Each structure stands twice: as C-alpha cells, then as structure tokens.
Chain A
C-alpha cells in the first residue's frame, strides 16, 4: 500500500524496522528466519549473518529454548510468570531488562514457527527500585519512634513505672494493641506497596535449597523452643538449586513457619520439607496445630483476611502475610496451596522452579565502526 502523498511506503518493512523493540521470526526449529533492525542492533548482527542460526545461540538467551518449546507445545502465546519471561541483559556496562513475548505463527493451519518480541522494561525496573528504596527508608524511619512508644507502653502496663488504675491499664492495652498493628504494617509496607501497584520485582538467582531453609528457620528456632514446639527440617541430599530471589523466598518460608507457630500448641511439631518432582521443587510446612476450617481455606490467601481460631490470640497482623507469600510464589512461576483439617493440622505447600540456566546474559562488546 502506498499513500500517494507519502514519500515513504507504508508497508510492513517500514513499520517493522522502525519498531522500538527487537523482534525475531523463527521457524519450528528455532532458527532465525527474519529479524528487525532493532534486534540486529541489540544483538550485534544482521539479517544475512543471523539467518539460519538458532535464536538461542545467536542471542545467548538460554531460556528462549524452554519458552519457545512451551509456545510450540501449547500452540498458543507464551503464558508464564513475569520473572520467567524476563531477562537481564548487560551491554557495555549498561544493564537492561527485557520482557519476552512469543506468539505462535501458523501457516495453512499448521504451526510453522514463532514471533519473538523483546520489550524493554528497564525503566520500569528502575522505577520499581526507586519506589522500593523510598519505601524502605520510610518504613525504617517509622520503626525508631515506634520503639520508644512500645517499650514505654509495655513498662507502664506492667506497672513497672508506678501503679495504674484499671482504666489506665485498659487505655494502655489499647495503645499497645494498635502499636502492634502499626508495627506489622511497617513490616509489610514494602510488600504492600508492591501488591497495591500490581507489580512484584524479583531477581531470581540459582539458590541452594538448604541455605534457604536454614536462613528461614533460624530466627524462629528460639521462639519454637520457648513455645515447646518441635521444629524440624526434612531435606533429602543433592537437591538441585532453585531459581529464586533469596530474600523473598526466605520471607515466604519464614512467614509460613511463623504462622504455624502461632497456631500450634506446646508439644506440637512443625516440619519443613522439600522434595523435587521434575522441574519443580515442592516446599511444605506442616504443623500439628488447630487447623483451618474448610470454608476459610480458599479465603486465607486474600488480602486482609485472618482466620480466627478457637481462643487464639489475634496475630496482631493485618492478614497480609499469605497474600504476599502468594504474590511472591506466583512471581516465581510457582503455586501455593493449603491442606488442612480442624483439630489435626495444616500443611502449606508451594513450588519454585529448579534453576535451569542463566537467566541473564552479557552481550559481546559492540564495535563502533565510524558511528
């Protein structure tokens, strides 16, 4: 099509080569059939040299193998977690983040190949980092004054700073309870800001499972001992590394074990187990606690929901822990669910992917030839 007044032919060539994003057309064997100008620039290649090469080797992005396989198998567009579809690319000391989209291409009703598109989300990641830093500073600033308040209130409540009237005690109890709420909110502020903005930013690295479990369980050992609850870990040897954001993965486990502690009586047991099944690692936290009624089980992963057990003290939280845990697990491409029976106990299980290979790639230096 050529508009009579336009000096430039309005055709696919023009459009494709002026796209802001790198695009590759590959066949069923993942060989490059065509690439646009941006793709050539980013990966330091061109149509002539790229044609016929396997796109995974050409770009150095090993996860393309799995992603393309998924699309070809499903004969549908790529559907996976944000993290699975993301790749970090380093080029000349600059860090870029791309999100990969792949659409299957059909010819005469048959699957012929795929269109691989990279979307530059670097700015988005930067914004997230700025916001995260800001939230981190703010929540830190809240903690110090809250300390003075909580310590003071506790001492007053216990009568350690003079006698109290019953009304005085009541008022202090109320202050104490609300301070606890503030404290939990601050703890969750970071994650809350992410859930609210509908994004979660994780950087998955190959992570040793036993390190992860140790780190999650360590801060709770003392508490478990105090409560008379047995806390055991059950990890078979030789588990492969998991593709996870270490801090966030630890957070999920710690949160689940912490919950278990809240709802398990003395003489009870909490077991943390990890098993591998194919490309996924199954983490489970099983307790012999009071259990969760069936009608509450689907609700607990929602925001601001808390299960009230019989005569259980409220955790003083706002019911975000499991919502955040679910968010983190899903951002890793995993799933989380609960099995529970009132009076018997509860098991929370979540999956993380086994680390498959480099999630990031460093591009070769681009030689500048006269601009």
Chain B
C-alpha cells in the first residue's frame, strides 16, 4: 500500500511541482490549500507524512504544526515544513513547535525525495 502524503500549500505552481515530484516516486498525495482544510483532512484520516507550507490563509502552518504535534493521536506523524520563509527565527519557531524537518524553497526534487525516504523508509 503506497504511503499517503498530505500537502498543505496555497501556491498553485508549487503544488504542481511537489505533486510531480511525489507522483514520480509513487506516493499518494492529498492536497489542501489552507490550514483549516489541512486540520480537517488530518482529523478525517491520518496521513503518513505532512508537507507543510507556513504561509497559508485561514490557519497558518505554525498553527497546524502546533495542533498536530500537540495531539497524542497525531504527534508521531512526520511533518516537513516546506517554506519560503528562510529566516532563522522561522526555522527555530517551527523546530520548537515540533517540526521534524525544515526545507526552504527553492529546493531540488532530490532533496525532497531524500527527506521522504528518510521519514517513510518502507517505500522502495
């Protein structure tokens, strides 16, 4: 059974880029475009991994991170922050909130694949 990745990202082009990356290696992907949708989706069904943008409408990535990591049911889901926010403070804040990894945009597909392999090792 292929792994399910939840992508929370509001920029259409980035969605296309990440989806293409994930399709290429056979992950199942669900896409949400704001934090509120993200939380709804997670409540409905736990993804195997979350790719989280920080700047999203309605509920931002930090809030989603806080909720996911603050909840016993979901705190073990790996969360990779994928963001254009490159300041140290942002990274620190995300890591403090429990993010498993922090990747700044732009990134190369290989970087994303390496991280995914690291957190979802059962994929071939």
Contacts and interface: CB of A to CB of B under 8 A. Distances in A.
A155 B24 contact: yes
Contacts of A149: 106
Given A151-B109, A155-B20, A140 B14 contact: no
B49 to A, nearest CB: 16
Contact of B14 (A147, A250, A251): A147
Contacts of A10: none
A312 interface: no
A140 B85 CA distance: 6
B32 to A, nearest CB: 18
Contacts of B16: 148
Contacts of A226: 114
Contacts of A219: 102
Nearest to B88: A247
Interface string B44-58: 000000000000000
B14 A148 contact: yes
A155 B109 contact: yes
Interface in B84-108: 84-89, 92, 102, 104-108
A226 B117 CA distance: 12
Secondary structure at chain A's binding surface: helix, strand, loop or mixed? helix
Contacts of A251: 88
Contacts of A183: 106
Interface string A223-263: 00010000000000000000000110011000000000000
Contacts of A143: 84, 86, 104-106
Interface residues of B, number: 26
Contacts of A145: 13
A146 interface: yes
A70 interface: no
A151 B106 contact: yes
Contacts of B87: 136, 247
B88 A151 contact: no
B71 interface: no
B97 to A, nearest CB: 16
A154 B108 contact: yes
Contacts of B88: 246-247, 250-251
B21 A155 contact: yes
A150 B106 contact: yes
Q: Which of A147, A246, A250 has the most CB of B within 10 A?
A: A147
A179 interface: yes
A144 B9 CA distance: 11
Contacts of B11: 144
B18 interface: yes
A37 to B, nearest CB: 41
Contacts of A148: 13-14, 16-17
Interface string A201-228: 0000000000000010001001000100
A151 B84 contact: no
Interface string B15-57: 0111011001000000000000000000000000000000000
Interface of B: 11, 13-14, 16-18, 20-21, 24, 84-89, 92, 102, 104-110, 114, 118
Return the 3 tightest CB-CB contacts between A and B, nearest first.
Answer: A151-B17, A143-B84, A247-B88
28 contacts: A143-B86, A143-B104, A143-B106, A144-B13, A144-B14, A146-B106, A147-B17, A147-B105, A147-B107, A148-B14, A148-B16, A150-B106, A151-B21, A151-B106, A151-B107, A152-B17, A154-B108, A154-B109, A154-B110, A155-B21, A158-B109, A160-B20, A160-B24, A183-B106, A219-B102, A222-B118, A226-B114, A250-B88
